[in-house]
Amino acid sequence: MVSSVVYIIFPILLAVGLIRKYREYQWGYCKSNSSLHGKVFLVTGANSGIGKETVRELVRRKARVIMACRDMKKARLAIEDIRRHESSGELIPMHLDLASLKSVRKFCEEVMKDFPKIHVLINNAGMYIPMEEKKKTDDGFEIHFGVNHLGHFLLTNLLLPRLKESAPSRIVIVSSALHEQGKIDFDDLNGEKTPTKSGRHNSGYCNSKLANMLFSIELAKRTQDSGVCVYALCPGFAYTGLFRSRTIKWYHYILFSPIALLYLRSAAQGAQTVIHCATCEEVEGESGLLYRNCTIYKPKKKLDPEVASKLWEVSEKLVGLKTSL
């Protein structure tokens, strides 16, 4: 009886393992292991999830990394964890709250004063809050639009002069394939007209990820021939703290297990495309492209350059910024 069970279970486990390995192979990984000694990277949301794993990979390659974090205690804990395995590179924690435009400005002033070079800016931090909570930023913006888009929009523009001075340099924008579910409604950027229960996707999050994609397109156009390359990417569905605000019950894990087997990546696996865009020699000069699974990604939803241009102009007004790009 026992042997019969073994003969049934073993092939099933073997098949499951092979399927998982095949999926992981499809996700790709960053093949560049070149030394980043002397290079300065700035990573937002660097104390957990994909951001933390990105930082880990950068210091392993001997980079100097500015860890822009909202919670400095968590930043220090992340550094302790990374230093248990990686002794090279340099880790510099700095406070940044993307939900406050005042905090963004203060942070950028400190960075511009203390760092004569910034070679790569990685806009990784992301917020995911149930829409029914109606969360706002300190400046009154819908939390997803305010943090995921406007905070990074202001941060990038304020640091752009230093990135140009450091050229060749890069700006990496972490978006999501969920941008295909998003919509930019210029009459409702704060989501006040959007139903809090509007389908299985969080509309605020999806809209902000679409804003990220559109931002990358317009930014690439405005930085053309400046020596600054812009890349947007989808890291894939990764196991991070992004959805920590959602209530998950025990039976959800059972129902979710087949999806997890096929689609759920570790944070380290999710960081691979970020590292690819930030460090790989083969993407140098290819500004304005979108990536997924460490390769060029063509979204199903067409990204309208006119909407991207208008979103830029509206965002300038909302953050009180006038640029001369």
Q: Report, as residue numbers or ranges, the catalytic residues.
A: 205
* Distance, C-alpha 68 to centroid of its chain: 13
- For residues 45 and 65, give the distance between their C-alpha atoms in angstroms, rounded to a whole number: 12
- For residues 15 and 9, give the distance between their C-alpha atoms in angstroms, rounded to a whole number: 10
First CA to last CA distance, the chain: 74
Tokens 């090279």 -> residue: 88
- For residues 161 and 230, give the distance between their C-alpha atoms in angstroms, rounded to a whole number: 14
CA distances from 31 to 51, 275, 298, 308 (A): 19, 9, 21, 32
Tokens 């140009």 -> residue: 164
DSSP state of 142: B
- For residues 15 and 286, give the distance between their C-alpha atoms in angstroms, rounded to a whole number: 39
- For residues 211 and 183, give the distance between their C-alpha atoms in angstroms, rounded to a whole number: 9
The DSSP bridge partners found for residue 238 are 265
- For residues 99 and 145, give the distance between their C-alpha atoms in angstroms, rounded to a whole number: 10
3-state class percentages of the chain: helix first, strand second, coil last, to nearest 5: 50, 15, 40
Single out the residue of 104, 220, 226 nearest to residue 164, CA to CA: 226
